[in-house]
Amino acid sequence: MKLVTLLVGIAAVSISLSASAQSTLELRFSNPLSMVRADEPVVLFRTSLERKGLKVPSGKYLSVAYTTGELIPVQLDDLNNDGQWDEAALLLNFQPNESKAILVSITDQVVSIGAPRAHVRHMRKQADNSFGPDLRIDSVPPGQPATDFAVTKLPPFLTEGPAWENDKVGFRLYFDVRNGKDIWGKTTTSMVMDQVGRDTKTSYHDRASWGMDVLKVGKSLGAGALALLVPVNGKDTMVRLGGLNMGKIIYEKIADGPVRAMFRLTYPNWKVLAGAPPVSLTEEITIWGGQYYTESKVTVSHAPKGSSVVTGIVNLKSQAVVNLDVEKVKGIYTFDKQSENSDLLGMAVLLPPGQKAVSGQTPNAGTDITQTYFIASPVGKEPFVFRFYAGWEQSESFFRSAASFDVYLNEQARRWASPVKGNK
């Protein structure tokens, strides 16, 4: 027997399979925790499967099923744009300490099952004030202004920039000098971001059947926007990834549903400090079906020595921040009547196990970044990874108390620290 390495969550696992070429593999996974794990993200690498026996001819696809015969939605993503898929993404469900097998088979066509559970889109306004088509690549020049809604009813981009969602929650980016991130509270499992914001007679700041924009961002880091903490004359200075010195922004869609959506934001010429070489920053953002978080992987080049990457949570309406440290997963969270609907909203930033972190709070006035609880990690060779969580009480009953939000985050931390494993 030989071993094949697969990616499950953020950890590599090994499973056993026959060395000979074949068209179907049985893979077995186990949940090491005594808790239910619904919609556990799993990624299978095509190269790993092929090296160990599952030869996938060009133009062929995969189907995945439980051994009972129940099909599992699988998404085949071409991440390097070479015309063939590189990764197979799927979501698995586990009972406490459960072990289960799945069957992976070669097929002649894509197997489509169920409704999409993740989506990303970016659309420009056209001359007739309609939006579309959905763009794979786009960019804005340095100094792209924020929309003045007193002058124009529709922004140059649908909902002011890229929006990404799943069947639980959604987010958006202001594709301009603000470069902020906002939250869509959802009360539907449907993908709605292609339609929200098209009709000037309705406002997405008001509660609708699908949900609403639930966050006021102001001059804060909102829902996980970025900054650098830079040493200047012996004192740390926080510099927002935004403004006139941010430079050009490049958007690129990587993958789009039905299981996960991924896109990349590149900032090639960020002038962090006067007289210093420009910084290059790339943020790769992923959202999986079934989750209340969006995950970012941030890489930084040419940052001033001693710099740290920063992200954070707006505290315009929160009374306190809670620090979390569970199984080497560190983070911060708030829970308060802080939504634009004047009801309960929990927000959190969690970092992966073992990632260095410091946290703090910005001033509430007098600086470029205000009213933010932040968490930072030193710039290094490895990317800065974080998950931003948004739990609105209208979306789920367990977001209706601080205690239940705390329980939820602790479970999320334990899941991140103890990924599903494959049996050797």
Residue 59 sits in a domain whose CATH number is 2.60.40.1180
| Domain boundary pick from 114, 148, 166 | 114
Alpha helices by DSSP H, 320-418: 402-417
SS3 414: helix
Q: How far apart are CA 316 and CA 308, in angstroms?
A: 24
**pLDDT, position 55:** 87
Q: Are residues 347 and 229 in the same domain?
A: yes
The residues that bridge with 125 in the sheet, in sequence order, are: 131
Label residue 68 exposed, middle or buried (CB < 10 Å: 0-12, 13-18, 19+).
exposed
Q: In this structure, what are the phi and psi dihedrals at residue 296, rounded to the nearest 5 degrees? A: -120, 140
- Whichever domain contains 353, its CATH number is 2.70.98
**pLDDT, position 257:** 87
Q: Are residues 143 and 102 in the same domain?
A: no
**pLDDT, position 4:** 36
CA 167, 216, 390, 349 torsion-angle sign: positive
Q: Are residues 109 and 128 in the same domain?
A: no
Q: How far apart are CA 236 and CA 232, in angstroms?
A: 6
Q: Are residues 280 and 415 in the same domain?
A: yes
Q: How far apart are CA 369 and CA 359, in angstroms?
A: 15
SS3 23: coil
| Domain boundary pick from 114, 147, 180 | 114
Q: Are residues 75 and 196 in the same domain?
A: no
Q: In this structure, what are the phi and psi dihedrals at residue 416, rounded to the nearest 5 degrees? A: -70, -40
Q: Are residues 81 and 148 in the same domain?
A: no
Tokens of residue 157, six digits: 């981009």
Q: Are residues 338 and 374 in the same domain?
A: yes
Q: What is the pLDDT of residues 53-109, one digit of tens each?
A: 898 999 999 999 999 999 999 999 999 999 999 999 999 999 999 999 999 999 999
Q: Are residues 58 and 163 in the same domain?
A: no
CA atoms within 13 A on the CB side of 244: 1
**Structural domain for 99, as ranges:** 2-114
CB-based contacts of 42: which residues, under 8 Å, 6+ apart? 6, 7, 8, 9, 29, 89, 90, 91, 92, 420
- What's this model's pTM, rounded to 2 decimal places? 0.94
Q: What is the pLDDT of residues 324-339, one digit of tens each?
A: 999 999 999 999 999 9
Label residue 258 exposed, middle or buried (CB < 10 Å: 0-12, 13-18, 19+).
buried
**pLDDT, position 21:** 54
Q: How far apart are the first and last CA of the chain?
A: 10
| Domain boundary pick from 86, 114, 142 | 114
Tokens of residue 361, six digits: 């709070």
Q: Name the DSSP letter for residue 394.
A: T
SS3 250: strand
Instruction: Please count the structural domains in the chain.
Output: 2
Helix or strand holding residue 46 (H, E): helix 46-51
Per-residue pLDDT tens, the chain, 424 aa: give them: 333 334 444 333 333 333 345 789 999 999 999 999 999 999 999 988 887 789 899 999 999 999 999 999 999 999 999 999 999 999 999 999 999 999 999 999 998 888 999 999 999 999 999 999 999 999 999 999 999 999 999 999 999 999 999 999 999 999 999 999 999 999 999 999 999 999 999 999 999 999 999 999 999 999 999 999 999 988 999 999 999 999 999 999 999 989 999 999 999 999 999 999 999 999 999 999 999 999 999 999 999 999 999 999 999 999 999 999 999 999 999 999 999 999 999 999 999 999 999 999 999 999 999 999 999 999 999 999 999 999 999 999 999 999 999 999 999 999 999 999 975 3
**pLDDT, position 334:** 98
Q: What is the pLDDT of residues 234-282, one digit of tens each?
A: 899 999 999 999 999 999 999 998 999 999 999 999 999 999 999 999 9
Q: Are residues 163 and 14 in the same domain?
A: no
DSSP count for the chain of H helices, then E strands: 2, 31
Q: Which amino acid is at 48?
A: S
**pLDDT, position 423:** 54
Q: Are residues 21 and 127 in the same domain?
A: no
Whether the CB-CB separation of 374 and 360 falls below 8 Å is answered with: yes
Q: Are residues 66 and 202 in the same domain?
A: no
Nearest CA-CA partner of 351 in 372, 317, 378: 378
Say how many residues make up the chain: 424
Q: Are residues 142 and 102 in the same domain?
A: no
**pLDDT, position 332:** 98
